[in-house]
Structure 1
Amino acid sequence: MAEERPSGVIGKLLGSLNIAVRRVLFTFLSSGPIPQHIAFIMDGNRRFAKKWKLEEGAGHKAGFLTLMSILKYCYEAGVKYVTVYAFSLDNFNRRPDEVQSVMDLMHEKIEGFLKELNMVNRYGIRVLFIGDLSRLSEPVRDAAQKAMEATAKNTRTYLLVCVAYTSSHEIPRAIYEACQEKGGGSRGSNGIVSDDEDIVKLVDLEKHMYMGVVPDPDLLVRSSGETRLSNFLLWQSTNSLMYSPKALWPEMGLRHVVWGIFKYQKNYYYLEKKKKQS
Structure 2
Amino acid sequence: MENSMDSFAGRMFGSTVRYIRRFLFRVLSVGPIPSHIAFILDGNRRYAKKWNLGEGMGHRAGFLSLMSIMKYCYELGVKYVTIYAFSIDNFKRRPEEVQYVMDMMLEKIEGLLKEESIVNQYGVRVYFVGNLKLLNENVRMAAEKAMKATSNNSRSILLICVAYTSTDEIVHAAQESCEEKWTEIQSSTDARDCEIIEEKREGSNVIKLADIERHMYMGVAPDPDILVRTSGETRLSNFLLWQTSNCLLYSPRALWPEIGLRHLVWAVLNFQRIYPYLEKKRKNI
- Using structure 2 for the length normalisation, give the TM-score: 0.92
Structure 1 counterpart of 2:14: 15
Structure 1 counterpart of 2:114: 115
> Could you say what secondary structure the match of 1:60 adopts?
helix
Whole-Å separation in 2 of the counterparts to 1:170 and 1:265: 30
Matched, 1:248 2:255: yes
Matched, 1:219 2:218: no
CA RMSD of aligned residues (A): 1.8
Matched, 1:210 2:217: yes
Whole-Å separation in 1 of the counterparts to 2:87 and 2:36: 20
Question: What is the count of residue pairs matched by the alignment?
Answer: 273
**Seq. identity, %:** 62
Structure 1 counterpart of 2:246: 239
Whole-Å separation in 1 of the counterparts to 2:121 and 2:82: 19
Matched to 1:239, the amino acid is N
Which runs of structure 2 are paired with 1:40-55 in the superposition (5 Å)?
40-55=39-54
1:95 CA drift (Å): 1.4
Structure 2 counterpart of 1:125: 124
Matched, 1:229 2:229: no
Whole-Å separation in 1 of the counterparts to 2:119 and 2:101: 23
Q: Deviations over 1:33-87 (max 9, x none)?
A: 0000000000000000000000110000000000000000001111000000000
Whole-Å separation in 1 of the counterparts to 2:262 and 2:233: 18
Which range moves more in the overlay, 113-122 or 63-72?
113-122
Whole-Å separation in 1 of the counterparts to 2:91 and 2:115: 29
1:116 CA drift (Å): 5.4
1:136 CA drift (Å): 0.7
**Would the aligned equivalents of 2:227 and 2:249 in 1 still touch at CA under 8 Å?**
yes
**Structure 1: stretches of 5+ with no match in the other structure:** 187-192
Whole-Å separation in 2 of the counterparts to 1:7 and 1:227: 43
1:236 CA drift (Å): 0.5
Which runs of structure 2 are paired with 1:1-278 in the superposition (5 Å)?
5-115=4-114, 117-183=116-182, 185=185, 194-278=201-285
**Structure 2: stretches of 5+ with no match in the other structure:** 189-199
Q: Deviations over 1:161-206 (max 9, x none)?
A: 00000011000110111011011859xxxxxx94210000000000
Give the 4+ runs in structure 1 shifted more than 6 A. Answer: none
> Could you say what secondary structure the match of 2:204 adopts?
helix
> Could you say what secondary structure the match of 2:231 adopts?
helix
Matched to 1:264, the amino acid is F
Q: Deviations over 1:190-247 (max 9, x none)?
A: xxx9421000000000000000011000100000010100000000111111000000
Matched to 1:224, the amino acid is S
Whole-Å separation in 2 of the counterparts to 1:4 and 1:56: 34
- Using structure 1 for the length normalisation, give the TM-score: 0.94
> Could you say what secondary structure the match of 1:86 adopts?
strand
